[in-house]
Structure 1
Amino acid sequence: MVIKKIPKRMCTGCMEMKPKKELLRIVRTKDGEVSIDFTGKKAGRGAYICKNIDCFEKSVRAKRLSKSLETDISDEIYSKLKDEIINGEG
């Protein structure tokens, strides 16, 4: 029986490698638009964060999402992301 490799990504909050499906993806498109990628398949530069409010706050404080995406992130995106983490299905 072949064991399927599970793709892992690093959370920008806790800096731990976790399975991709457990993380939220934030993507910056070529146009510079930043959005939450629920499918995990949007084209562009991606950064990942745990579905944990502590990881979110660490990432915001250290500005790791901005550094990973190589752009400034608006407060609107941060508030959408926070709402998704708190109220999301996940």
Structure 2
Amino acid sequence: MKVKKIPMRMCTGCMEMKPKKELIRVVKNKDGEISLDLVGKKPGRGAYVCKSTDCLEKAFKTKRLSRNLETTISQEIYDDLRKAVEVG
């Protein structure tokens, strides 16, 4: 049997490679709108964050999330992300 490859992505907070399923994706679409992609299928440029508040705060403070998506991120998106991390 063939061993299935697990897709890995880097968290913008802790900068560690983790399985894609363990991370939350933030997407910037063609129109420049930013949204959360909990399924991981939306089209557009994506950045990943761990499901921990430490990584989320680190990504905010260093502005890595904004840099990866090449745009400024509104407080509303940060609040949505924080809620998604708390839920789990």
Shorter-chain TM-score bucket reads over 0.9
Gaps of 5+ in 1: none
Identical positions, percent: 64
SS at match of 2:48: strand
TM-score, structure 1 normalization:
0.95
Q: Distance in 2 between matches of 1:5 and 1:84?
A: 27
Name segments (4+ residues, structure 1) moved above 3 Å. none
Q: Between Structure 1 and Structure 2, how many residues are aligned?
A: 88
Root-mean-square deviation over aligned CA pairs:
0.6
1:72 matched residue in structure 2: 72
TM-score, structure 2 normalization:
0.98
Cα shift at 1:71: 0.4
1:30 matched residue in structure 2: 30
Q: Distance in 1 between matches of 2:79 and 2:72?
A: 14
2:63 matched residue in structure 1: 63
Gaps of 5+ in 2: none
1:83 matched residue in structure 2: 83
